[in-house]
Amino acid sequence: AKRSLPLVRSTVAPSNQRARRGRSSALRSPRYASRARWRWKSLVFVNRALRFRTAPTIMARRSFKKKYKTAHAFGSRKRKSPMRKKKTRPLASKSESFVDGQRDAEVDASPSTSDAVAFAEEMPSTSKGHTVLAHLQPRFGSPEAAREQATAVQASRSMSATERKMKLFAESEEPASAEKCEEFLVVQVAAMNALLATTPCEQCLQPGLTVVPGTRHGLATKMILNCGRCGAVANEWTSPRREGGRVFEANLRSMQAIKSIGKGSTALTDFWSIMNVSHRGLHQKTFQKHLKAEFKPAGDAASGSVFSDAVEAVRKVYAEMDPCFTKNITVVYDGTWMTRGHTSHIGVGTVIEFYTGLVIDSVVLSNRCHGCSVGPKEGDKKYIKWKQSHELECQKNTNVNSGRMEVEAALLLFGRSLAKNDLRYTNIVCDGDSRTFLALSDDKTYGFIEITKEDCVNHVKKRMGSALRALVTKSKKGQPLGGKGGLTQNLIKKLTSYYGMALREHSEVDEMRRAVMATFYHISSTDAEPHHELCPPGSASWCKHRVAEAKNEPQPPHKYHLARHVADALLPVYQRLSEPHLLDRCRGKKTQNAAESLHSVIWSVLPKDENASLIAAETAVSEAICRYNSGTFHAYVEFCSSLGIKPGHHALRRAAEKDSMRMKKASKAHQAKGQRAKRHHAAKDTKDYNPGAF
């Protein structure tokens, strides 16, 4: 077999003059000339299309001694005269000029074909984004390597998604700085005075010392040690200040604690007032000040560190799956809103890598700012001065409505993927809403590299239930479809489940379509008009009529007795939901479960029934992503490091417990799912067709 060469653009144009010295006059005839021109145009077309050039030995296969002739792969050509006018090239568009410039730069990087071959062997590429392509040589591994790879794949499948995701990060270890001597205690002042009652004063050596609370800054209180005879002896704050700042550590920890459970300053004040510690834990202005100055930068730093670790883990996984991996990955994108309905002012867009389940980027959008709504309006004397000072604090970063936020976030996240993560999100798994995909396609985020879409199987499955319920609702005005002998709620749930099974258990479009239509004709069959041709044959079939046929037994009576007008109304729904272009997007059996799981974590940190600003939402999203990617332990350590405080010993123990419970719960659910799959595969015959369901 010929050794394949990289496709590079030839830098020397072949000549269209094929006349050679010593040729007969017949070869110079007009008929031969036209044939030669046709052959020559074909060669030019092939050369321009493939950018193909043969080896340098063929380039130099002929040597001409004439002054104005050079060697070429297709023969000889005359050197152009210096006085000859150059042909003007038409202006190219921006995209074409960019592609040509990229191609020229890559071709110049490999001046010779041998260098290009060596470059292709060292760094083969199958990415669509590369102009210089390479024919990859097949790589044959040893049986030992194949067995090791199979063992690794089997081990990865035996773990839950949470376990695989947690193993991509370093194992959590309790830092040495978490010492028990740094813990806080809730002590009653009377109990402290009882201990000090027998302690002598260091000046008068008489007992009777007492502690009197002094100045308060939030939860930090100055404790003054008094002697009945000498007066004030010493004083000390109940909490140390953060290193390099004046913020008390107790205030930061209390804010971190109350935010981790999805509450705000009001809940913090109520808690400490009921505990009889302070009538106001932190003032509202102090709480908002710390949120902007301390927690917002800390959240950005922590999430940035987690994002970078996630991107490195994604690159490692893709490099193991494909040695030729460059930048193209498969992601799950979905948007979520803080308020239910279509009036939310805050929306969140997240990008999750599909195979690892790690969040690699996110953005929070807000179309409302409370300061703008209560501040001076245009035309007011103070408006210009207020506007200049408010621009840096304005919490409105988009003008689109809530329905457009998901599309706007996708354009922003996909547009910065190369600059931020050096990755291209070329395959996207999303729900049935095609506005995001159409917007990305129209925007041409990656130029000539197209973005492909795959539908979430769970969302497509829900379309069946929604369509059947809508069918029953619309039919109430005319001939009803519900009730006995029609579409009951129980039957709708069954048909929806059967439709989802048909999508999951088949990989080819024809098989999926056959399985979907088999469920329709099965339930619409009657004793007078049986239609079980699409049901799988054999004694192991889920259709009892085909089982009886295989065993030469009499046909059993039909279970479902749908009226003819009900079956006629169902047929268009099944035909629409079994169209090839829809089923083709479900062949990968991909879901958005990772996005739904992340949304539950986000709204547990930031409840939907609470009011929040853009800064509070961004901080909550950062904390939720850190928990989701690396676990509570690692997220807590990252936030404490960004805040400039030491992780607490008890907080680390609790975080480790939560991660352990999360792993056990995920492992238990994964094992139960595997057991159900084993029972299902053991019950059916793999040689027969089985769409599942009945």
Amino acid letter, residue 441: S
What is the token pair recorded at 415? 């547009």
3-state secondary structure 571-619: HHHHHHCCCHHHHHCCCCCCCCHHHHHHHHHHHHHCCCCCCCCHHHHHH
0.95 surpassed by pTM = no
pLDDT at 481 over 90: no
- What are φ and ψ of residue 116, in 5° steps? -65, -40
**CA-to-CA dists, residue 623 to 264, 299, 301, 348, 555, angstroms:** 15, 7, 11, 14, 61
Q: Give residue-wise pLDDT tens across range 355-392.
A: 899 999 999 999 999 889 998 988 888 888 899 889 88
Rounded Cα–Cα distance for residues 219 and 655 (Å): 24
Rounded Cα–Cα distance for residues 162 and 173 (Å): 18
CB atoms within 10 A of CB 46: 11
Contact 5, 113 (CB under 8 A): yes
Weakest-pLDDT range from 131-145, 195-209, 554-568, 573-587: 131-145
pLDDT at 506 over 60: yes
- What are φ and ψ of residue 71, in 5° steps? -75, 145
Nearest to 116, CA basis, from 137, 138, 134: 134
Contact 598, 165 (CB under 8 A): no
Amino acid letter, residue 218: G
Query: Rounded mean pLDDT of 399-411?
Result: 93
Contact 456, 431 (CB under 8 A): yes
3-state secondary structure (DSSP) of residue 165: helix
pLDDT at 101 over 50: no
Query: Rounded mean pLDDT of 573-591?
Result: 91
> What do you get for the CA distance between the two ends of the chain, in Å?
53
The pLDDT > 90 percentage for the chain reads 41
What is the token pair recorded at 394? 């304005």
Q: Give residue-wise pLDDT tens across range 39-95.
A: 555 544 445 444 444 433 334 334 433 344 444 434 444 444 444 444 444 444 433
Query: What number of residues does the chain have?
Result: 694
CB atoms within 10 A of CB 452: 12
3-state secondary structure 473-497: HHCCCCCCCCCCCCCCHHHHHHHHH
The DSSP symbol for 241 reads B
pLDDT score at 54? 42
pLDDT at 102 over 90: no
pLDDT confidence bin for 450, thresholds 50/70/90:
very high
Weakest-pLDDT range from 308-312, 324-328, 510-514, 685-689: 685-689
pLDDT score at 247? 93
pLDDT score at 248? 94
Tell which wins on pLDDT, 54 or 147: 147
Q: Which residues contact 679 (CB under 8 A, 6 or more apart)?
A: none
How is the beta sheet containing 220-227 ordered, strand by strand? Answer: 209-217, 220-227, 231-237
Query: Rounded mean pLDDT of 450-465?
Result: 92
Long-range contacts of 413-420 (CB under 8 A, 24+ apart): 413/333, 413/349, 413/351, 413/361, 413/362, 413/363, 414/351, 414/440, 414/445, 414/451, 415/443, 415/445, 416/361, 417/351, 417/361, 417/445, 418/327, 418/446, 420/361
What is the token pair recorded at 216? 């308060």
Rounded Cα–Cα distance for residues 169 and 358 (Å): 11
pLDDT score at 350? 96
What is the token pair recorded at 474? 């619309």
Spell out where 69-144 has E strands. 69-72, 75-78
The pLDDT > 70 percentage for the chain reads 72
Q: Give residue-wise pLDDT tens across range 148-192.
A: 655 655 555 566 777 777 776 654 444 445 566 578 989 999 999
CB atoms within 10 A of CB 183: 11
pLDDT at 10 over 50: no
pLDDT score at 604? 93
- What are φ and ψ of residue 335, in 5° steps? -110, 155
Contact 693, 497 (CB under 8 A): yes
Average pLDDT, the chain: 77
Contact 570, 576 (CB under 8 A): no
Contact 298, 642 (CB under 8 A): yes
Long-range contacts of 445-451 (CB under 8 A, 24+ apart): 445/411, 445/414, 445/415, 445/417, 446/129, 446/418, 447/95, 447/98, 447/99, 448/95, 448/99, 449/128, 449/129, 449/328, 449/424, 450/426, 451/414, 451/425, 451/426, 451/427
Contact 275, 289 (CB under 8 A): no
Nearest to 119, CA basis, from 109, 129, 104, 128: 109
Q: Give residue-wise pLDDT tens across range 262-298.
A: 999 999 999 999 999 998 889 999 999 999 999 999 9
pLDDT score at 663? 85
Contact 448, 99 (CB under 8 A): yes
CB atoms within 10 A of CB 310: 25
Rounded Cα–Cα distance for residues 102 and 100 (Å): 5
Query: Rounded mean pLDDT of 306-335?
Result: 90
What is the token pair recorded at 353? 């890598």
Contact 347, 406 (CB under 8 A): yes
pLDDT score at 369? 92
pLDDT score at 181? 59
Q: Which residue has the tokens 């193909």?
A: 52
Rounded Cα–Cα distance for residues 457 and 585 (Å): 9
Tell which wins on pLDDT, 241 or 144: 241
CB atoms within 10 A of CB 391: 8
Enclosing H/E stretch for 237: strand 231-237
pLDDT at 8 over 60: no
What is the token pair recorded at 126? 């199958």
Query: Rounded mean pLDDT of 508-512?
Result: 91
What is the token pair recorded at 250? 């107790």
